[in-house]
Chains A and B, each alone.
Chain A
């Protein structure tokens, strides 16, 4: 052994004896990664036991921060050796509990794999790592004249890996589609520790569309380590219309009328009066506080078409009793309107310290009736509600604002949430348009699907992860494999947590 190798061995021996955890699982992880990329302190792990939802789960086991695909593979193998589940995690900005650990799994936090690896203009794609922040990708693409289309309201913090797990949408997905339309290929570490690629850059990749099945599977089928995203060319022109209405009903009817007229705007967002009020208190953005509701409509494309569609939208709005129509005259005005829209949830703290952001989808034609029912439910249960949502997609986001320290309030919030699901399904809608099922809505799945439907969803899950190693206890309701939450919540005695 030469001098340098002897020195290195002494350093390694010292580090191992000095720092490695007494727990064999943590020690194995520390050996595989660097010491500071495995968290074992309970207070630190508690930070990784929550997401942005109001739900509680188990406690994060060791939290790992891999920086390469190979490290993710190693973590999967260590997890198998120690018979531990794993749960992948992005920014933790999810709202349905999808990233909340059940039991005490190894948390694989992907936030340090945050490089844009390649921008390939000829193929109009970019290869990125899953920890890249959504907005940072579009910023990165600006000099090339492109952007990444899905823009969740949390785009300043959410990661693309999280977007893949949730098949995330955003205001600008109405015309161009949500994440699965914009992701062409995925490098994935499978539960076995093998690495493979789903999809491809070619026009019609061979075989079953495993990429399509994987996107939106809420981190239950594998760990995403690289993503090929489609680049969308920036439009020549954009017009942003702020349309005021005396009521949300009129605004909702206008949404249906615009679509029925053959116009598909890039975005079509609705906000009720309460939302407008708190946005203007929080961050004055130019919204009219005297309006019953507003629509924020954006059309983009080539100059003449944008002009034609903006004019027509104005006519349709006037025919539906719009009281005012403003068009953003500068990029500053446009940015201010969007900043206000995307700040609505944070602004709710002017009304109460806590919020529960709901997420269902209904047919557009049912928007007005469903919103009336949702508002009635909140009134009857003495809860304050704000409605700010993707009207063009029929994607409702009732925001229940409350003070969790008031006894019984959280129970009422959950009760109203369940009722909102019911009225949405009765109107022909679905459980979620963006946030996913997670643990929030898994017990509602039987209201949307038959047992046979769920059995087939379970077959899909089992085909990827027969031993339920990754993020068990999510999406499918109790009774299906990988869904037995009670067992997962009960941490075996003696297990390191």
Chain B
């Protein structure tokens, strides 16, 4: 059963009210994605603060205006981390956008780690979906629907996220390679494999002797050297199937860095918009009508 609603959430709810277009302003690190806020939109700030961090339960509950950096700083003291990407933004923003961390193979996907969301509805009610436990099949999964919804169905106030222990060793290695798939085949659960067509970067995490042995395997297929971290990433984020990331045509992407085994690609050129099945559009529109009949939540944005 969920913890009681805090006063800061009640105040956030009052601020959102029941009338007029409204949106939450977070760190604005992804402000230009999926449309722009309508001109007359009123912006509010989500409450901040970490409510509880429980390493023995592998969960953390925080208000969504808290920055991801602050969350990870606090969790780091407890030897834990989350799947949220660190890029200067807020927890609420990260969940609203739904983009995974670059080391998603090791840290997991956001949509799998959100256990509970409290949001304010279009009619000014505080709604809770999910629960602060790591396993739960009690009712419909509204909180799954909220990840990547760009705040179009509800405005997030509080979230409980699954945490994981920080591995004792975390290292990046790089080498020239035309065959990034061989890295995936020769390593066991790497945290990330990035490839720009010429060079591979591998993120290995775990116990030190395991990382050392995995490095030996890498050295058998390339001249790997340790580096500080991931390479710089081009501007545009693509989402394609993992196998397609092995066959990228530079004419389409310009310079690129692909996440092997995942299918994210960062490219100089934007990905063309994908066609959406009319049946999916119909359900999406129906959800929007049900959750926000007056269209007041993040008008101008789309999921």
- Residues of A within 8 Å of B, CB-based: how many? 93
Q: Are B137 and A166 in contact (CB under 8 A)?
A: yes
CB atoms of B188 and A233 under 8 A apart: yes
- Distance, CA A77 to CA B47, complexed state (A): 49
Q: Which partner residue on chain B sits nearest A260 by CB separation?
A: B56
Closest CB in chain A relative to B80 CB, distance in Å: 8
User: Which stretch in A6-14, A64-72, A195-203, A275-283 binds the other chain?
Assistant: A195-203
Q: Determine if A256 and B283 form an interchain contact, defined as CB atoms under 8 angstroms apart.
A: no
Tell whether A264 pairs with B280 under 8 Å between CB atoms, given A123-B243, A431-B138: no
Q: Which residues of B contact A284 (CB under 8 A)?
A: none
Known contacts being A236-B188, A428-B1, is A259 close to B135, with CB within 8 Å? no
> Is B213 part of the contact surface with A, judged by Cβ < 8 Å?
yes
A433 with B142: CB separation less than 8 A: no
Q: Can you name 6 extra interface pairs (CB under 8 A) apart from A207-B276, A433-B137, A452-B126?
A: A190-B283, A201-B263, A203-B263, A207-B303, A209-B149, A308-B207
B108: chain A residues within 8 A (beta carbon): 177, 181
Max chain B Cβ within 10 angstroms of own Cβ: one of A206, A216, A217, A457: A206
CB contact between A430 and one of B79, B100, B131 (< 8 Å): that residue: B131
Query: Assuming A236-B188, A260-B55, is B242 touching A201 (CB within 8 A)?
Result: yes
User: Is A262 at the interface (CB under 8 A from chain B)?
Assistant: yes
* Interface flag for A178 (CB, 8 Å): yes
Q: How large is the interface on B (under 10, 10 to 19, 20 to 34, 35 or more residues)?
A: 35 or more
Q: Which 3 A-B pairs have the closest CB atoms?
A: A212-B144, A262-B165, A304-B209
Are A203 and B264 within 8 A (Cβ)?
yes
Q: Measured between C-beta atoms, what is the minimum distance from B178 to chain A in Å?
A: 16
Q: Are B133 and A445 in contact (CB under 8 A)?
A: no
Candidates B112, B133, B189, B283; contact of A181 at CB < 8 Å: B112
Can you report 6 A-B residue pairs in the complex whose CB atoms are below 8 A from each other?
A: A201-B242, A207-B276, A233-B188, A309-B207, A437-B137, A448-B139
Contact indicator B135/A394 (Cβ below 8 Å): yes
Could you tell me which residues of chain B, from 181 to 225, have a CB within 8 Å of some CB in chain A?
181, 188-189, 206-207, 209-210, 213-214
In the complex, residue of chain A having the shortest beta-carbon distance to the beta carbon of B144: A212
Which residues on B are within 8 Å of A, measured CB to CB? 1, 3, 54-58, 79, 98-100, 104, 108-109, 111-112, 121, 125-129, 131-142, 144-145, 147-149, 153, 164-166, 181, 188-189, 206-207, 209-210, 213-214, 239-244, 246, 259, 261-264, 274, 276-277, 279-280, 283-284, 286-287, 289-291, 303
* Majority secondary structure of chain B interface residues (helix, strand, loop or mixed): loop
Structural contact, B135 and A452, CB atoms closer than 8 A:
no
Asked whether, in the complex, the Cβ of B261 is within 8 Å of the Cβ of A204, the reply is no
Q: Pick the interface stretch among A16-24, A26-34, A461-469.
A: A461-469
In the assembled complex, which residues on chain A have CB atoms less than 8 Å from the CB atom of B214?
302
Against B, the Cβ 8 Å flags (1 = close, 0 = not) of A65-106 are: 000000000000000000000000000000000000000000
Q: Which of B210, B239, B244, B283 has the most chain A CB atoms inside 10 A of its CB?
A: B283
A365, B239: Cβ atoms under 8 Å? no
CB atoms of B209 and A210 under 8 A apart = no
User: If the complex has contacts A209-B148, A457-B139, A460-B287, are A301 and B188 also in contact, measured as CB distance less than 8 A?
Assistant: yes
Listed residue (B128, B137, B141, B166) with the most chain A CB atoms within 10 angstroms of its CB: B137
A475 at the interface (CB under 8 A from B): yes
Q: How far is the CB of A403 from chain B (nearest CB, A)?
A: 30
A380 to chain B, nearest CB (A): 23
Residues of B within 8 A of A190 (CB): 279, 283
